[in-house]
Amino acid sequence: MSRKCELTGKGPMSGNNVSHAKNKTRRRFLPNLQDVTLGSDALGRTFRLRISSAALRTVDHRGGLDGFLLKAKDADLSAQALKIKKEVVKATA
């Protein structure tokens, strides 16, 4: 399972550990991923997704999974999320 958010595409970043003596060693900053179940109002179903906590706050801010997916770019979404988006667009039209 990859360490990548299914809704925003946020993945690991790299940087430095810096000691008190200013020694620098490479490290990875991993996204805060959570396994959540989100419901779609348009489809009347729930979906299990692995998303970052920042994406979860954005989903709440935009009024749920449907509102988030309608505004999201297709390039950022995973294959599963893109499939859900197409179903939501079809159901709302």
pLDDT tens digits, residue range 64-83?
Answer: 999 999 999 999 999 999 99
Taking only the tens place, the pLDDT of each residue in 20-35 is: 999 999 999 999 999 9
Give Cβ neighbours of residue 6 (< 8 Å, ≥ 6 apart).
49, 50, 51, 77, 78, 80, 81
Q: How many Å apart are CA 23 and CA 34, to the nearest integer?
A: 33
Tell me how far apart the alpha carbons of residues 91 and 43 are, in angstroms, rounded to a whole number.
Answer: 7
CB 69 within 8 A of CB 84: yes
Instruction: Please tell me the distance from the alpha carbon of residue 33 to that of residue 24, in angstroms, as a whole number.
Output: 27
Domain boundaries, the chain: 32-92
Q: Are 49 and 39 in contact (CB under 8 A)?
A: no
pTM, 2 dp: 0.86
